[in-house]
Amino acid sequence: MHIPVTPAGAARMAHTGSPLAGDRDVAPAPVLIERGENAVLCTAGGARLIDFSANGGAGVTGHRHPVVISAMRAQLDRLVHVGAPFASTAQATSLADRLETLAPIAAPCSTAWATTGAEAVELAVTMARLATGRRAVLAFAGAWHGETGMARALSGVRTDTSSGGDAGARIQFLPFPHAATGAGLDDMRRSLQLLFRTRLAPQEVAAVVIECVQGEAGVLTASATLLHDVRALCDRHGIVLIVDESRTALARTGKLFALEHFDIEADLIVLADGLSDGLPLAAVIGRQPLVQTVQRQAVQRTMWGHAVAAAAAHAVLDVIHDDMLCSRAADLGRAWMNRMQDARRTQTAIADLRGLGAMRAVEFRRPSGEPDVLQARVVADAAIAAGVLVSLGGSDANVIRFQFPLTLSDDDLGDGIDRFVAAMNGAQA
Ligand SMILES: Cc1ncc(COP(=O)(O)O)c(C=O)c1O
């Protein structure tokens, strides 16, 4: 199958033999997509791709879900948006009410809107700083929170930080305990003690920002002990716990919010692109006094709480409920795991298969234990050429990520995995 690539992609192929970015200093060249329907994307040349990347992992209900599209259309016929200060729409206010009821926070909640995940993360940090009067923020190695200045500064993956970051942000990183990072819980605790002894008093920390599953780092699920430790730290020192669920909500991990797996409460939850399935809408939901810090300051952006995106988000929540997409995510993850465990028997380069719900990953390593970056890239290229859209990840770019639309049919799942496995077996770095 011929998958057309952009001129930039062709140039990249000439240099590297790959249209994908297997490292972080070369921009990926996009495959040109013309149409999408549920889990299937079509290129301008008519090639068919099964979408195992779900809009960067943020897509829940697939491409152009009929219920979501008709909600968007109905809203377009009434009102596109109103961006005036001190005005809102019925769609946005009722969506806020609905999310506040669903969020796993027992205290009374409020919602503040943003447009993207990065913006929402920044907004949450602003709330924490305003509420505590403190400045420092703790984040985790391997985290990814977006491309704006503060969000990038909070992201603990190897990037060109000279072009981003926020020098005044007072951000400190802790190791993320996981088998794949080589760090244990004790390492994290020791780093924290050292930090508090040498660089920062706990009373200077406004917030801890964490993901329940680090997607960009290669789908690393936090342990319950880590999250409970972090909650206890925040309680002890009056620190705001911000959980970034931009990729893990809604339903992707098998629960509406990934936090529900761990039985802890955040103070602020960041939601983003999965909310409205294709339209830019993000939110910070959390304890009222925290969210009201920005409401009192009349922090406002023109496109926040966009009416069409809010109407789409209502429809996404309806579909998640009516089609039981939380249990579907868990089933998809199990089916993927069973099939990939079979495939692993003949693939020595696979070092790990992991994930939570429908957020999955294959990690490639050489027999020496070194990250097999080349194999990951070659397999990802071969998979795309075979008609399966996957994405590379991992701090060493040696991981292939699978993030299916939760509306994916069993046939498309099976077909996509078959194509991936055949591509993997045929691809030798
Ligand atoms: C956990 C997490 N937070 C925030 C973001 C940034 O979201 P956006 O691209 O909408 O700014 C991402 C994007 O990948 C993400 O994975």
Measured distance CA(395)–CA(203) in Å, rounded: 31
pLDDT at 295: 77
Portion of the chain with pLDDT greater than 70, in percent: 89
pLDDT at 147: 87
pLDDT at 45: 86
Give the count of beta carbons closer than 10 Å to the beta carbon of residue 177. 21
pLDDT at 142: 95
Q: What is the DSSP letter of 123?
A: H
Q: In the structure encoding, which two tokens stand for residue 171, read together?
A: 């951000």
Q: What is the DSSP letter of 42?
A: E
Model confidence pLDDT, tens digit, residues 234-291:
999 999 999 999 999 999 999 999 999 999 999 999 999 889 988 999 999 999 999 9
Query: Is the CB–ligand 1 distance for residue 280 below 6 Å?
Result: no
Within the chain, which residues score under 70 in pLDDT?
1-29, 158-168, 296-300, 428-429
Query: Is the CB–ligand 1 distance for residue 146 below 6 Å?
Result: yes
Q: Is 7 exposed, middle or buried (0-12, 13-18, 19+ CB in 10 A)?
A: exposed
pLDDT at 166: 61
Q: Is 263 exposed, middle or buried (0-12, 13-18, 19+ CB in 10 A)?
A: exposed
pLDDT at 19: 41
Beta bridge partners of 116: none
With the most atoms of ligand 1 within 8 angstroms of its CB, the residue from 113, 144, 176, 213 to mutate is 144
- What are the angstrom distances between the C-alpha of 312 and each of 247, 251, 252, 275, 325? 17, 16, 17, 8, 16
Query: Is residue 371 within 8 Å of 394, Cβ to Cβ?
Result: yes
Backbone φ, ψ for residue 28 (5° rounding): -65, 145
CA 261 to ligand 1 centroid distance, Å: 21
Model confidence pLDDT, tens digit, residues 2-20:
444 443 343 334 333 444 4
pLDDT at 299: 61
Q: Which long-range CB contacts under 8 A does 383-386 form with residues at least 24 apart?
A: 383/419, 383/420, 383/423, 383/424, 384/3, 384/19, 384/20, 384/31, 384/49, 385/1, 385/3, 385/423, 386/1, 386/419, 386/420, 386/422, 386/423
pLDDT at 168: 64
Ordered structural domains, the chain, with CATH: 7-64+324-426 (3.90.1150.10), 66-322 (3.40.640.10)
Query: Is the CB–ligand 1 distance for residue 246 below 6 Å?
Result: yes
Q: What is the DSSP letter of 383?
A: H
